[in-house]
Structure 1
């Protein structure tokens, strides 16, 4: 539940800081008062006191009401300060904001999840929501890529998702001596190449399947192109965007895309809404 004043941060305690990769840390947080109720795909505004505020999508299960997590790539002053946080410190949080993934609409369907880089964070939340009600959905397939093996995050979780009947396909742009290509379990596969090359390894039925995509703009662009080529309708391709979000309330105009506000109308959009907009990513 959000504060009655959406501009006023609530205090949250840092319960745990986990290093996922040289570039990404996951913060486990707990509100000092109340609980954080959110949907997979929504985001919050995180304040590091004395430094600033920035938006981050939830990366944890929406069914865990005791704590919540955000995964943060170190790219600037606020994210750098977030990486320096220690257990027991306090931060401010506003939210949840935005919409979420429309899971209720697609129960019984096959779902394809495609993530690149830190874009896997909201998709991790989505995966946790799906496996919590695994029997409600058809086949679940995850395609996830990073630049190198050291930048693959949530490394200790992929086999757990496989145990929940999720097919997991991982790829890196450039491999190294630690990266073994080929099957590594009953539903897992590792590969070298950009994430769209994983489409050659999976069997998909576009008539039954819904796709959820999040990652760098160039990855989203080519993933959408491939999905359309395969026969996915634009109405069943969902994109999680974080384009230039700032205030979280649609007031500053920072995230405007031809009349749509990513923070209010998104961050999850069906491609049907964006397909006629030049450079929507």
Structure 2
């Protein structure tokens, strides 16, 4: 909740952007915005505590009512206008689902739902305990205007849901790519093994939209912490189409892709086949 309403009114963001959160004496870190732009009364962030993370530990140690700094919003965003009148597939893994949660809330809002066709969500985590937004996931599962697939890599004695890695479940459920666009965000290893199944399902590289995570410091493309070749994830991204990542495979982009863990998807015959559309 903003202390100054004027600051809240100036903080205009859209789905996919991030902000820099700061704690006095600890520092600041980039965190994706988890609330929807239509959540007028508050901003929401989901922060995972890391044992060696000074700022994440400081944030988790705060009491209700404590003050933190918020700088932003920064970065580009998901192509919401392009997504209109299309079927939407959302694939998320772990804590990287935060900006996707923002997007789902936006898509399902009563003001927006009619602008989009089918919405399918595949969300996975390593274990049941690492699934986040559990109450909201349950609410979405009970709706008839969204299809949910929730999976964990390894269940426990209380888990009654699906067990399987996200790329494998993606192959099993095989959502249609017809008139579709996919948003995918997760840890690098998940992204690495999700791209080829998406291509096999018929999603062309320009219809695969991903959000990349890199270590950032300034958030405005000045410090060089998040650069890969000529790209700055905080400024040129964090949202990229897979086509953007593939452009100029012989130049910077190959370095970019390999740095993000996509090297095994650089099968040009498969990519050309996915782009030609002649067999669909």
Structure 2 length as normaliser, TM-score?
0.84
1:171-250, aligned counterparts within 5 Å? 171-180=151-160, 190-250=161-221
Aligned to 1:69: 44
Secondary structure in structure 2 of the residue aligned to 1:101? coil
**Where does the alignment leave 5 or more consecutive residues of structure 2 unmatched?**
261-280
The equivalent of 1:161 in structure 2 is 140
Out of 2, 8, 14, the position equivalent to 1:39 is 14
| C-alpha contact (below 8 Å) 2:92/2:122 kept by paired residues | yes
Secondary structure of the residue aligned to 1:61 is: coil
Query: How many Å separate the matches in 1 of 2:13 and 2:197?
Result: 31
1:33 Cα deviation (Å)? 4.1
- Rounded Cα–Cα distance in structure 2 between residues aligned with 1:122 and 1:161: 16
Range with greater deviation from structure 2 (30-39 or 54-63): 30-39
Give, in angstroms, the shift of residue 257 of structure 1: 2.0
Find the counterpart in structure 2 of residue 144 from structure 1. Answer: 123
Which consecutive residues of structure 1, in runs of 5 or more, have no partner in the other structure? 1-28, 181-189
- Residue 114 of structure 1 aligns with which residue? 91
Q: CA offsets per residue over residues 89-135 of structure 1, 9 Å max, x none?
A: 11111100011101111201111100110011111001011111111
Cα deviations across residues 193-224 of structure 1 (Å, max 9, x unaligned)?
A: 11112213424222311110111001011111
Alpha-carbon distance between aligned partners in 1 of 2:2 and 2:182, rounded to the nearest angstrom = 31
What pairs with 1:50-69 in structure 2 (closer than 5 Å)? 50-69=25-44
Partner-residue secondary structure (3-state), 2:2: strand
1:65, CA displacement in angstroms? 2.1
Residues 1:30 and 2:30 aligned together: no
Separation of aligned partners in 1, 2:96 and 2:104: 13
Name the structure with the higher strand share: 1
| Secondary structure of the corresponding residue to residue 134 of structure 2 | coil
1:23 aligned partner:
none
Q: Residue 93 of structure 1: SS of its match in structure 2?
A: strand
Instruction: Point out 4+ residue stretches in structure 1 off by more than 6 angstroms.
Output: none
* Matched residue SS, 1:68: coil
Residue 31 (structure 1) shift: 4.3
TM-score for both structures, normalised by structure 1: 0.83
**Residue in 2 aligned with 1:124?**
101
Aligned residues: 244
Measure the CA separation in 2 of the matches of 1:221 and 1:30. 38
Higher helix share: 2
Contact 1:274/1:280 (CA < 8 Å) preserved in 2? no
Shift in CA distance, 228/147, structure 1 to aligned 2, threshold 3 Å: same
Aligned to 2:46, the other structure's residue is in SS state strand
